[in-house]
Amino acid sequence: MIKLIVSDEIIQEAFNIVEGVYSPLQGFLHKKELDSVLHKMRLENGNVWPMPILMDISKEEYHRIGKARSILIENQEGNVTFRIDDISLYQYDMDILSEKLFGTLDISHPGAAKFSKMKPFLVSGILTLVYDRRPDKFPYYFSPQESRAIFRKNNWPTIAAFQTRNPPHRSHEHLQKSALEVTEGLFINPIIGEKKSGDFSDKHILEAYKLLIRDYFPDKKVVLGTFHTFMRYAGPKEALFHAIVRRNFGCTHMIIGRDHAGVGSYYGTYDAQKIFDNFSLSELGIEILKFENAVFCDDCAEIVFENQCSHNNSSKSSFSASLLRESFREGKAIFQTQMRKNVADYLAKNKETLFV
């Protein structure tokens, strides 16, 4: 059987499919399915699904596969192999893909730039894991079966998911604790994988959250687990994708705040919340917690939601991951109104390796 050596990214997406993280997908999308996802945010059978999950190959690999109906894909180390059956090979207009997914062809958008560099052919088919002989597994990753078992063991009938690609500032903490007022448990689920240059590194995001959970959350109310994929920066459609994935992990609620999965000014501040108005709770299978922007109000002397008090906007300051990145780079002081001291101290001590 023909065997292709593929990137770790494609291998990880294959794991996400076969382990149910991307349920109901059973393989990489074929052409008609991709059309439906891009134009309708649904699979052909009507299930809500907004994100292209694709395997790209070169012209040389296309000719190698030829008319084969099954192939093997393997990582560089040769310790993970998947079989793809009932394959089809096709090309797709990447301008259409970028315009429908990101709303732009501008390669200044990191997602559009990444997709513009894809190889010219795509492979679809049903995935099966042949073997996984990796010596080291991710210590904070739980498959959907494992995460659901943890939630049952904790006796959590309701669980709120929180997606992040940054260490926690006080606004994040406020959203998380607000979610715990309506659910029994919290699943903090950082994305681990490729991000744009200048983003916080995966290691330090995890370490920062471990400190926050240890010192500032009630015992046995929070699970920290990782979601292994790459950031698309697709704003509203990625927010929808993130919610479906967290449903698959077993969460009943999903926190969607300001500018979820956005970048620059490509999306409106609350577009990531508005997209959910197009779908019913029964078809999503997860309830969306649409929180307003959390700010620090000088007059209240605490963190509040933007319209939660009557004080003037001049007394309110917003939180920003980009401003925090700038402060850490320049060695500026981080105030406890912005970030917990133990978290800020840890990040400051690791300034040299803090960013990708």
Q: Which residues are catalytic?
A: 165-166
C-alpha span between 292 and 91 (Å, rounded): 41
Adjacent-strand bridge partners of 287: 253
Q: Are 178 and 244 in contact (CB under 8 A)?
A: no
C-alpha span between 190 and 321 (Å, rounded): 15
**3-class DSSP assignment, residue 151:** helix
Place of tokens 């840890």: 346
Q: Are 5 and 62 in contact (CB under 8 A)?
A: no
C-alpha span between 85 and 80 (Å, rounded): 17
C-alpha span between 231 and 272 (Å, rounded): 15
CB atoms within 10 A of CB 272: 27
Give Cα 199 to chain centroid, integer Å: 14
Q: Which of 185, 77, 90, 85 is nearest to 133 (CA)?
A: 77
